[in-house]
Amino acid sequence: MTERKKLVAGNWKMNGSRASADEIRAMIQGAEALRSQVEMAICPPAVLAGLAGDLVSGSALGLGGQDCHAEPAGAFTGDISAEMWADVGARYVLVGHSERRTAYGETSETVRAKAGAVLRAGLQPIICLGERLSEREAGETLSVIAEQLERSTPVPDETGGIVIAYEPVWAIGTGLTPTLAQVAEAHGRLRQALRARLGARGEGVRILYGGSVKPDNAAGLMSTPDVDGALVGGASLKAADFLAIARACAGR
């Protein structure tokens, strides 16, 4: 069976400030202790990228962006390219988060272009997808997420180190989570879609679960088949909670 090292990534969204440096230092310490078992990363707001990049440089804590533009540079006011994320030392960029798909009308085609840009910059895109509550209630979850994967993932020859994050929209920031059986079913379907799209390489792609991951539910979620780590929102802002989740992921 293909070994996939688990990844726990923190999506800070529009939270944090320069005063978050102490939390980042504590996260670095914790990440060092877990480095043989789990990869860890934080995705702070872009204005904190320089500060965070300097702090995590050379450490076991990786840096990621929350979004990027598909072009490398140019007249795109307010945007940040994947190359810029690489320049501040990032390893990952989140693309296609449901908040961006919903609030900024990003389509899966836009997401695929952004993911391709992240690969072009030598970084790993964390491609987010997941069903809405109405889609789950209509019994459409598996077809919706398989289609999102198909349309949001770059074509095979561009694909190196992609990561998928399954985040049911209704589980984000709500305290609700799918049952472990529902998580296993969704991740199994995504694995199957990855194999269909990428052949044997699909086996090596990590599939993270995201949506209300907390210290007290992480152990169950992280030991579910085909769950290769977590994309954590609210609980990634405090080192104590984020590290507790990473330890659960490491089986400690």
Contacts with ligand 13P, residue ranges (CB under 6 A)? 11, 97, 167, 172-173, 210-213, 231-235
Q: Which of 23, 99, 106, 167 is catalytic?
A: 167
Taking the complex as a whole, the smallest distance from the CB of residue 75 to ligand 13P amounts, in Å, to 29
Question: In this complex, which beta carbon is closest to ligand 13P, that of residue 163 or of residue 231?
Answer: 231
Taking the complex as a whole, the smallest distance from the CB of residue 153 to ligand 13P amounts, in Å, to 18
Question: In this complex, which beta carbon is closest to ligand 13P, that of residue 115 or of residue 232?
Answer: 232
Question: In this complex, which beta carbon is closest to ligand 13P, that of residue 91 or of residue 97?
Answer: 97
Question: In this complex, which beta carbon is closest to ligand 13P, that of residue 23 or of residue 167?
Answer: 167
| Separation of alpha carbons 6 and 106, rounded Å | 28
Asked if 98 and 117 touch (Cβ cutoff 8 Å), the reply is: no
Question: In this complex, which beta carbon is closest to ligand 13P, that of residue 198 or of residue 208?
Answer: 208
List of residues 6+ apart from 137 with CB closer than 8 A: none
CA angle 112, 193, 233 (to 5 degrees): 60
167 catalytically annotated: yes
In the complex, residue closest to ligand 13P by CB:
233
Taking the complex as a whole, the smallest distance from the CB of residue 133 to ligand 13P amounts, in Å, to 14
Q: Which of 23, 83, 97, 187 is catalytic?
A: 97
CA distances from 22 to 16, 39, 191, 246 (A): 11, 20, 38, 18
97 catalytically annotated: yes
| Separation of alpha carbons 65 and 74, rounded Å | 19
Q: Under DSSP, is residue 161 helix (H, G, I), strand (E, B) or coil?
A: coil
Taking the complex as a whole, the smallest distance from the CB of residue 213 to ligand 13P amounts, in Å, to 5
Helix, strand, coil % over all residues of the chain, rounded to 5: 50, 15, 35
Taking the complex as a whole, the smallest distance from the CB of residue 214 to ligand 13P amounts, in Å, to 8
Closest C-alpha to 128, from 160, 153, 103: 153
Give the catalytic positions in this structure: 97, 167
